[in-house]
Structure 1
Amino acid sequence: MPTLQETAAVPRVQPCCPPLTRQELSPADAATMAAMFKALGDPVRLRLFSKVASHPDGEACVCDIADVGVSQPTVSHHLKKLREAGLLTSERRGTWIYYRIAPTVLAALSVMLSDAP
């Protein structure tokens, strides 16, 4: 069964670049990282991302993370924005959608922001 990620053709995020303190970003890397930071720049999206990242088993059903103070359609909108930015992947199982942090996305963010020599 194809996942929503496969059907929506959301790109997988790979560690894009060396630390900012070592080398400047290319235009393509800057666009990729800016899309991720823009998606995380909304407090509701950041909370949803955090709920998925910290959820046991590394994945969360939308039914388990929707309590962020906004309506369910708004939660769906924010989750879609996180998927479009390449931060989350999703899979439908019956009537529920399960979310995971996209592979390597935390590594991409941490490598870029690290102060490694």
Structure 2
Amino acid sequence: MATKKIIFSPDAPAPIGPYNQAVMVNETLYVSGQIAFELAASGDIQAETRQVMENIGAILKVAELGFGNVVKATIFVKDLNNFGAINEVYGSFFTADPPARETVEVARLPKDVNVEISVIAVQ
């Protein structure tokens, strides 16, 4: 029987809708898309991406996991011209064996942010 546990970090933004920051099912952690709405208007896509990754790191930590446990990531970006800058910051969080990933350009993201990232991690 699957066990389900809600994961919450006070060091990442609280959900803005009917969802949780993350849910652990058995040994798999599903982290909801993370954003950095406080930095979205700054125009600094690298700072925004760094904050998103730090939010993910805070959630992983509560689940007693780290970036080395991430097996899948999804990046949603408002302007694919920012791919290189996002990729540079994103890549700095994975020192070896980065996860599988897709990057998708979208018309709009919550709170008008420029990037949103979700991950799946395993113990």
Give the TM bin, normalised by the shorter chain: under 0.3
Question: Of the two structures, which has the highest relative contact order with CA contacts closer than 8 Å and spacing of 6 or more?
Answer: 1
The structure in which a higher percent of residues are helix is 1
The structure in which a higher percent of residues are strand is 2
The normalised TM-score by structure 2 is 0.25
The normalised TM-score by structure 1 is 0.26
